[in-house]
Structures are given as structure tokens and as C-alpha cells.
Amino acid sequence: MHEFATVILLGLAVYTLVNLARRLGEVSRGLRIFLDLGFGLLATWVLDYSMFGGWGIQFRSLWMGPVATGLVIGGLASLWHEGIGFITSYARRAYDEGAEIERRIGSRAA
């Protein structure tokens, strides 16, 4: 269970790093996904981390565990992006609708 939580939080960290990199300039969706995967691979390489090793799953070569874990982390970073984007768009819509209702009520009362 700790391995799963670690991978989820590393995905959130990669999502944050990619968002910081996106502040430098406009990035297409394809490049963002590439950055997610690249930073995920970089994170597992730097940390020498394999979630499969924690679960007792062995690959033919030792390098395959961190690479597979990096791809999973990059995929989860993309999932974080979509999930947070959905929540943000929902909040904007709810706020804008509330502001619209307040403007209508305010104009009738006045």
C-alpha cells in the first residue's frame, strides 16, 4: 500500500514540476505529456526507485523496474492534470453561475 501512495504522490510532484516548466512558455498537450513521462523517468532514475521491487515483482533486467515505474508516474502526472483541470473548470463554472445569479438578483432589487 505504501508503494501505491508513493507513486501517486510522485505523480503529483511531477505534475507540479511540469506546471512550473509550462509557466516559461506555451506548451502543446503532446509536449506536456512528453514532459510528464520524461520527468517521471528522471525522478525514478534519480531516486533509483521501483514500485515493482516493493511488491516483489522481478524483471529480466534491473533497469526495467525504474523505467516502468517512471512511465507509470508520468501517466499519473497526466491523470493529475486532467483531474485538477476538471475540478478547476467545475469550480469556475459554479462561481460564474453564482456571480451571474447575484447580478440578476441585484439588478432586480435596485
- By C-alpha distance, which of 71, 5, 86 is closest to 37? 71
For residue 71, the enclosing domain spans: 2-109
3-state class (DSSP) for residue 13: helix
pLDDT at 57: 87
**pLDDT of the chain along its 110 residues, tens only?**
788 999 999 999 999 999 998 888 888 889 999 999 999 999 999 999 999 888 888 889 989 999 999 999 999 999 999 999 899 888 777 777 667 767 777 765 55
pLDDT at 108: 59
Q: How many domains does the chain have?
A: 1
